[in-house]
Amino acid sequence: MADRPARPAPPSAAPASAQSSSAAPASAAPASAAPASAAPSSAQSSGAPSSGAASPWRSIDPRQVPVIQRYADLPAVPPERLLPDWLRLRVSSPPVWEPEHAGDRARVENPNQRAAAVLVPLVMHGSGLTVLLTQRPHHMREHAGQIAFPGGRSDDTDRTAVDTALREAWEEVGLHRDRIDVIGQMPAYFTGTGYRVTPVVALVEPGFELRIDAGEVAEAFEVPLHFLMNPRHHERRHLSQAGLEREFLAMPYSAGEREFFIWGATAAMLRNLYRLLMA
Domains of the chain: 24-278 (3.90.79.10)
pTM above 0.85, yes or no: no
CB contact burial 71-82 (16+ within 10 A = b; e otherwise):
beeeebbeeeeb
Higher per-residue pLDDT: 192 or 248: 248
Q: Which of 21-25, 66-70, 207-211 has the lowest mean pLDDT?
A: 21-25
Encode pLDDT of 194-236 as tens digits: 899 999 999 999 999 999 999 989 999 999 999 999 999 999 9
Is the pLDDT at 45 greater than 70? The verdict is no
Query: Do residues 260 and 146 make contact, with C-beta atoms less than 8 angstroms apart?
Result: no
DSSP code, position 67 = E
Query: Do residues 268 and 103 make contact, with C-beta atoms less than 8 angstroms apart?
Result: yes
Query: Please, which residues have CB within 8 angstroms of residue 114's CB and are 6 or more apart in sequence?
Result: 153, 154, 194, 195, 196
- For residues 189 and 147, give the distance between their C-alpha atoms in angstroms, rounded to a whole number: 16
